[in-house]
């Protein structure tokens, strides 16, 4: 018995594996990251769609509201102005206070503005609702999990309130034993619309935005007048005037696929993987 005890004491201890202090950049799975990217790309489509789908209808809108094409074009100007200002406010506020509540709010505004535009019968309502539509389309992804790092960190912190998804509420109710979980502290914050302007100080970013802005400005000016000119000069119907925009859209899709792959020969990896 004594010999057995001595042998047990002389047996060398198993080495304990070292604990890594490296913090994981993101706890979201690869599938979650892909779905978030798909949802973000899908939601980004609404702002441009709501803008360009409006151009073929300028002439019938002016006739229906008994106003001039020039006044209807002002609704395009107001839409573009709001779409340039709103993201600087909504984006900064979403990064600070959480993205899901802002997404829900903008989706509600966008949906209500679309219903109002379908029912309105005055120029004043058209002008106002187009601005609301632009503000609502600035950020609109309802099915996002909360990804703001100030709220959930790398995804390991538990969101609270409207930052939670419906699945989070269902899972929390199905757990009978309450276990403590880390939550980010709530802080009040007033949005700073000028915070995003710091990116202009970066030379590469400024040049990219300059060329992109010039292209979008020229394209918007041409697109806004194309349907009206085609109807007046060539006697096209409203449907035919709308089909005039299809070649530009198809060409843009083909150009994105044909120039994107040569510019990125190596497969892109998800950030944090």
Q: For 25-62, how does the pLDDT look when each residue is reduced to its tens digit (9 = 90+)?
A: 777 788 888 887 887 788 778 888 888 889 989 999 99
Per the model's pLDDT, the better-predicted residue between 20 and 244 turns out to be 244
Neighbours of 109 (CB within 10 A): 19
Question: What pLDDT does residue 163 have?
Answer: 62
Question: What pLDDT does residue 178 have?
Answer: 40
Residue 236 has pLDDT above 50, yes or no: yes
Residue 20 has pLDDT above 50, yes or no: no
Least confident range of 76-90, 143-157, 196-210:
143-157
Q: Please state, in angstroms and rounded to a whole number, the distance separating the CA atoms of residues 51 and 76.
A: 8
CA distances from 62 to 67, 69, 164, 236, 267 (A): 5, 6, 44, 16, 48
Tokens of 23: 């913090």
Reported as a single tens digit per residue, the pLDDT across 129-161 is 999 998 887 666 555 676 766 777 776 676 666
Question: What pLDDT does residue 130 have?
Answer: 93
Per the model's pLDDT, the better-predicted residue between 112 and 189 turns out to be 112
DSSP 183: B
Question: What pLDDT does residue 190 have?
Answer: 67
CA distance between the termini of the chain: 54
């Amino acid at each position: 018995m004594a010999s057995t005890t001595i042998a047990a004491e002389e047996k060398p201890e198993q080495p304990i594996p070292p604990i890594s202090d490296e913090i994981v950049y993101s706890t979201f799975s690869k599938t979650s990251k892909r779905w978030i990217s798909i949802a973000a790309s899908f939601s980004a489509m609404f702002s441009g769609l709501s803008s360009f789908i409006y151009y073929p209808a300028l002439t019938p809108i002016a006739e229906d509201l008994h106003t001039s094409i020039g006044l209807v074009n002002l609704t395009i100007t107001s839409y573009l102005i709001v779409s340039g200002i709103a993201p600087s406010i909504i984006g900064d506020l979403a990064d600070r206070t959480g993205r899901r509540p802002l997404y829900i709010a903008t989706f509600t505004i966008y949906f209500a503005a679309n219903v109002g535009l379908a029912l309105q019968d005055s120029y004043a309502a058209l002008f106002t609702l187009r601005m609301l539509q632009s503000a609502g389309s600035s950020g609109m992804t309802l099915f996002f999990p909360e990804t703001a790092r100030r709220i959930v960190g790398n995804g390991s912190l538990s969101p609270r309130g409207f930052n939670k998804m419906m699945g989070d509420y269902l899972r929390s109710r199905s757990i009978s034993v309450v276990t403590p979980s880390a939550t980010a502290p709530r802080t009040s914050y007033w949005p700073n619309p000028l915070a995003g302007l710091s990116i202009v100080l970066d030379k590469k970013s400024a040049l990219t935005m300059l060329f992109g802005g010039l292209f979008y400005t020229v394209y918007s000016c041409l697109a806004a007048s194309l349907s009206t000119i085609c109807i007046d000069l060539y006697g096209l119907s409203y449907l035919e005037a709308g089909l005039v925009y299809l070649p530009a859209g198809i060409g843009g899709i083909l150009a994105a696929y044909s120039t994107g792959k040569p510019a990125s020969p190596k497969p892109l990896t998800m950030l944090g993987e």
